Amino acid sequence: MKRDRLSPLVTVLLLIGAAIMLAPMLWTLLLSFKSNAALMADSGSAFAPPWTLENYAAILKGSLTTRWLLNSLIVASGATIGVLVLSSLAGYGFARLEFPFRRTLFVIVLLGLAVPEQAVILPRHQLFAWAGLHNTYPGLILPSLTGSFGVFFMTQYFRAIPKELDEAALLDGASRFTLFRKVLLPLTIPAQATLGVFTFLAAWNDYWWPLISATTSDYFTLTVGLASAQMNYAQTSGLGFLMAQAVFASIPILVVYIAFQKQIVRAMAGTAVR
Site residues for other proteins, window 40-79 (CB under 8 A)?
42-44
Q: Are 32 and 240 in contact (CB under 8 A)?
A: yes
Q: Does 122 bind other proteins (CB under 8 A)?
A: yes
Site string for other proteins, 132-171 (x = CB under 8 A): ----------xx-xx-x--x----------xxxx-xxxxx
CB 166 within 8 Å of CB 178: no
Task: Name which of residues 193 to 212 contact other proteins (CB under 8 A).
Answer: 201, 204-205, 207-208, 212
Q: How far is the CB of 216 from other proteins (least distance, A)?
A: 15
Query: Cβ of residue 239: shortest distance to other proteins, in angstroms?
Result: 7
| Chain residues 235-274 in contact with other proteins, contact rule CB under 8 A | 235-236, 239, 242-243, 245-246, 249-250, 253-254, 256-257, 261, 264-265, 268-273
Q: How many residues bind other proteins (CB under 8 A)?
A: 116
Q: Is the dihedral of CA 142, 146, 149, 153 positive or negative?
A: positive
CB 67, CB 218: distance < 8 Å:
yes
CA 135, CA 181: separation in Å to the nearest integer? Answer: 35
**Which residues within the stretch 12-31 sit at the binding site for other proteins (CB under 8 A)?**
14, 17-18, 20-25, 27-28, 31
CB 158 within 8 A of CB 92: yes
Least Å distance, CB 180 to other proteins, is: 8
Spatial contact of 75 and 199, defined as CB atoms under 8 Å apart: no
Is residue 34 within 8 A of residue 51, CB to CB? The reply is yes
Q: State the binding string over 79-118 for other proteins (x if CB under 8 A, else -).
A: ------xxx-xx-xxx-xxxxx-x--x---x--x-xxxxx
Identify the CA nearest to 64 among candidates 253, 267, 259, 227. Answer: 227
